Chains A and B, each alone.
Chain A
Amino acid sequence: GAVVSQHPSRVICKSGTSVKIECRSLDFQATTMFWYRQFPKQSLMLMATSNEGSKATYEQGVEKDKFLINHASLTLSTLTVTSAHPEDSSFYICSARAGGTSPNIQYFGAGTRLSVL
């Protein structure tokens, strides 16, 4: 299957700092990427849908000024958590949609565990 690389895998930061997470599709072009958040023992929660070259579409209740998404190329999307606070501590996962014969399949990155002190 297609490979999606996500970095860093783990971040520990102080409250008030900003954290950038990268998501790359390594062997395919990803027109659409998705960002999810998952709290312990809960299901995935979609935060936003990111299309290359255009503004991200945020889900209801997700602050777009706090979670900045940039999708500047067909292989790279970034999520920046601005002025992170302890309540932002979570597991953040990106996925990328592969086109071609399987246009609806999402392939997931390994996730980034964010801990805000």
Chain B
Amino acid sequence: QKEVEQNSGPLSVPEGAIASLNCTYSDRGSQSFFWYRQYSGKSPELIMSIYSNGDKEDGRFTAQLNKASQYVSLLIRDSQPSDSATYLCAVKPTSGTYKYIFGTGTRLKVLA
């Protein structure tokens, strides 16, 4: 059974701090990794995609991928109350389909 695991949280950080969200996956051959943000009552919104080992930065967001450790993370710098949401990690496994395996999500609370 291919799995993606996240700590459900809530992860509480003060405004202006760095929020670190983590995700591990079981399918060693996975090639595509995604972070989505989901506000309460809304649908997921793509934040970052990452395909290669290392860091990928986009504004206040940095995704980090370590395929050897089967670990992907998302850092949010200068966290704002508006960042408070559930962050979903998604992995496309090596099977022939295009469907994702989603983690259960980490709820982030940024305290003003």
Residues of A within 8 A of B (CB): 1, 6, 32, 34, 43-44, 46, 49, 57, 91, 93, 97, 102-111
- Establish whether residues A32 and B43, one from each chain, have CB atoms under 8 Å apart when the complex forms: no
- Establish whether residues B88 and A43, one from each chain, have CB atoms under 8 Å apart when the complex forms: yes
Residues in A with CB closer than 8 Å to B41 are 91
Given contacts A110-B42, A111-B42, contact A49 B97 (CB under 8 A): yes
State the majority secondary structure of interface residues on B.
Answer: loop
Residue of A43, A104, A108, A111 near B98 (CB, 8 A) is A104
Q: Which residue of the partner chain B has the closest CB to A106?
A: B100
Residues in B with CB closer than 8 Å to A6 are 43
**Contact count A vs B, C-beta below 8 Å:** 49
For the complex, count residues of B whose C-beta is within 8 A of A: 22
Q: Which of chain B's residues 24-71 have a Cβ closer than 8 Å to chain A?
A: 31-32, 34, 36, 41-46, 49
Complex alpha-carbon distance, A57 and B44, angstroms: 22
- Establish whether residues B49 and A105, one from each chain, have CB atoms under 8 Å apart when the complex forms: yes
Residues in A with CB closer than 8 Å to B103 are 43
Residues in B with CB closer than 8 Å to A57 are 97
- Establish whether residues B34 and A44, one from each chain, have CB atoms under 8 Å apart when the complex forms: no
